[in-house]
Structure 1
Amino acid sequence: MNDHPGKSPDHLTINVTHRDDPVFEVTQADAFASVRKYPNIVVRGPLFGLAAQGRGERPRWRLLGELDTGFPQMARDELNSHLWFKAKDDTEDRVVRRSLLKAVARLEKDPVNEVTADGVRYRIVRADEFARIGDSRLEPPRATDPDEDGWDLDAPDPSRTKGFVVDHAAAVGLAEGIDRAGLLQLSYTADRFPDDVRADSQRALTTHPGVVLLPTTFRVVERKELSWSMVTGQYATPQGARRALVHHLTRPVPQLPDLPDMPELPAWMKVDEKEQAIHDRAAKKFMARRRPNELIVRGRRYEVVRVERVMRIGPDGPEKPRPSDTDDYGPSQIHPLMDEEGNITYSS
């Protein structure tokens, strides 16, 4: 039986297109070559963030941040702050401010995953982070990934995730279309995942049968004998991750002010000067290379790897946190009280 006569719903549509564009052709060829070289995937786990759906005849969900937190409550706190500052800075309308603050009050008390304020739906959304692997090596950045060459360690990292429109039916190239089709049945099956996590993952294949790939990010990992451990957070470009590795090697302890009453640092926080000199030399050699993706220091192997995120989509949009997605803490008041006039009450 055809459950969807005529046009398929957007959350089930993968719209593949072709562009007569040399850059598009090279990017597609690079993607196909990479998938052949790194044919398998390793799932790290879920990440959480914020999305908003505005008004309109066919409104799309749009990501409001980086989608890089490891717990749903961290994303709820992020939403709490987003709405509180909108009420403080973005409106003089008492009705609008009242609506925003009502949503804030609810987020302070209950672990809710969706609120509506001023006619906009806000949702806590999840995605699974994964990397491709082949011959026991995680995939490095591709030649066609957006990149740059600066080494300013204090340069801000650009964002390709914030503002991303979650549109399952948007046209994509053949390589991404094939990737998404291959991810449709992705679920947690390994024994290392608890039973409830595996059950929720299997259930999501039915409740949220579509998938969207979010903008690629990059991390530095340390390769060990049988595993990898994360060294840095996610970055929008490979160079951002490379700078983070140099920062990790050359700035291991925050610079503390030189005050007369400053207590002595504990032993575990002190830097071994000889060890630091080795790290500084390694970082200097690393920076002398153009777009390096690997560094070995004192037997420790650091790699810049390409990380992807897949978001499941259902009839009502992006997937929310699952019952088995756990939190270390619950909701709380994180900003001072504000009234509909914009007056803020600071507790004494």
Structure 2
Amino acid sequence: MGDEEQRAAVVLRVQRRDDPVGAVTEDDAARRGAAYPNIRIGAPLFGHAVQADAGRWRVHAVVSDTPQGARDNLAHHLREQRDDTNDPAVVVELTAVLDVLDREKVDEVVVDGRAHRIVRVDTFARFGPDGPEPPRPTDRDPRDAADHDSFLDENIVIDPDAATGMGEAMLRAELITAHYPRAQVPASVYTDSVAAVTSHPVGVVLPTRHAAAECVDGSWRPYSRAVATPQLARDEIAFGLRHIEPRLRRLTDEQATAYQQAADNLDAEPVDELTVLGHRLRVTRIETLLRMSTDGPEGPRPSDPDPDQPPAADRHQQD
């Protein structure tokens, strides 16, 4: 079966949303799609997922920059399960699994008959003539830091066959065929990226992230990691202005004071873009896509950087 035939077999079920919030969100998506028509793929994120029922998976903690970071989070998750159970058989099974995760780079383990898999999530930013897309008016954006973590909903049940709204369906169709440009990445990264389009032809959109970006010589580049909300991205900018830029740029006292004042202003009056001494920064919107096949969610690719070692191997090297 050729690539086009495989892609043609993918079906997206669209469900019309008549509620007022849904209608505004759909209109917001359409307007932004027209204003920021170009999509660029970014660095991946990693988490872990566990098999649920009826072909569904439950996704956790898609917050790591490397597969090993996700393995460490999975080990922490399973260690908490072991500490909370009184079943001796479960304790023995989890202890054996944790021993493997402590020593080896494994991307799938089985506990109580269910697979726990390290998963890879693609990230995307939309671009228009003025640069990357900022947050949308309909994006949730609490000021209270205690409310942020729930926005990523680190316990998401994904169902590739579930119906979705028109805006999300169009986004999924747009993202699922995207891959890294040949000229911008190593050959192995490009090859794996293209192969994933057909090996994992179904995409599930996960909660939107936000990040800070900076304009350098007319080009935009990442300034911070992806976080849950626009406010957390603003906090990343403020931290950078106060603590990173003065040392990185070797600012004078007067310049450092200007950066400090810009951070204070951002804390007092949240905005999505600011310029201080010619340094332009913007909060940007990051879409996330989990690729799926009939076997489940995509795991790490051979070309994904994975420099960190499992805890036991790292301790051995230090000794």
User: What is the aligned-residue RMSD (CA, Å)?
Assistant: 2.7
1:160 lines up with 2:151 in the alignment:
yes
Q: State the shift of 1:246 in Å.
A: 2.0
Aligned counterpart in structure 2 of residue 180 of structure 1, from 156, 172, 176: 172
CA displacement 1:173-196 (0-9 Å, x = unmatched): 111111111223212233121222
1:268–1:133 distance in 2 versus 1, CA, 3 Å = closer
Q: State the shift of 1:126 in Å.
A: 0.3
Q: Secondary structure at the match of 2:39?
A: strand
2:6 maps to which residue?
Answer: none
Aligned counterpart in structure 1 of residue 91 of structure 2, from 73, 97, 120: 97
1:284 lines up with 2:295 in the alignment:
no
Following superposition, which runs of at least 4 residues in structure 1 exceed 6 angstroms of deviation?
A: 267-271
Query: Does the 8 Å CA contact 2:56/2:160 hold for their aligned counterparts?
Result: no
2:306 maps to which residue?
Answer: 327
1:231–1:183 distance in 2 versus 1, CA, 3 Å = closer
Amino acid at match of 1:192: Q
Aligned counterpart in structure 1 of residue 224 of structure 2, from 225, 232, 242: 232
Give unmatched runs, 5+ long, in structure 2: 2-8
TM (norm. structure 1) is 0.80
1:19 maps to which residue?
Answer: 17
Query: Does the 8 Å CA contact 1:81/1:335 hold for their aligned counterparts?
Result: no
In structure 1, C-alpha distance between the alignment counterparts of 2:264 and 2:190, rounded to whole Å = 45
Q: State the shift of 1:268 in Å.
A: 7.8
Q: State the shift of 1:234 in Å.
A: 2.1
Number of equivalenced pairs: 307
Q: Secondary structure at the match of 1:307?
A: strand
**How many percent of aligned residue pairs carry the same amino acid?**
39
In structure 1, C-alpha distance between the alignment counterparts of 2:254 and 2:278, rounded to whole Å = 16
Q: State the shift of 1:137 in Å.
A: 0.5
In structure 2, C-alpha distance between the alignment counterparts of 1:285 and 1:119, rounded to whole Å = 53
In structure 2, C-alpha distance between the alignment counterparts of 1:124 and 1:269, rounded to whole Å = 38
Query: Does the 8 Å CA contact 1:214/1:310 hold for their aligned counterparts?
Result: yes
Amino acid at match of 1:301: R
In structure 1, C-alpha distance between the alignment counterparts of 2:59 and 2:105, rounded to whole Å = 20
In structure 2, C-alpha distance between the alignment counterparts of 1:229 and 1:284, rounded to whole Å = 24
- Matches of residues 1-348 of structure 1 in structure 2 within 5 Å? 12-54=10-52, 56=53, 58=54, 60-65=56-61, 67-87=62-82, 89-148=83-142, 150=143, 155=146, 157-161=148-152, 162-252=154-244, 273-289=253-269, 291-333=270-312
Q: Secondary structure at the match of 1:216?
A: strand
In structure 1, C-alpha distance between the alignment counterparts of 2:209 and 2:119, rounded to whole Å = 18
CA displacement 1:241-268 (0-9 Å, x = unmatched): 1223223323559xxxxxxxxxxxxx98
Query: Does the 8 Å CA contact 1:48/1:68 hold for their aligned counterparts?
Result: yes
Query: Does the 8 Å CA contact 1:13/1:168 hold for their aligned counterparts?
Result: no
TM (norm. structure 2) is 0.87
Amino acid at match of 2:70: A
Amino acid at match of 1:187: H
In structure 2, C-alpha distance between the alignment counterparts of 1:189 and 1:216, rounded to whole Å = 23
Query: Does the 8 Å CA contact 2:119/2:298 hold for their aligned counterparts?
Result: yes
Query: Does the 8 Å CA contact 1:312/1:318 hold for their aligned counterparts?
Result: yes
Amino acid at match of 2:60: L
Structure holding more helix per residue = 2
Give unmatched runs, 5+ long, in structure 1: 2-10, 254-266, 337-348
Q: State the shift of 1:18 in Å.
A: 0.9
Query: Does the 8 Å CA contact 2:151/2:229 hold for their aligned counterparts?
Result: no
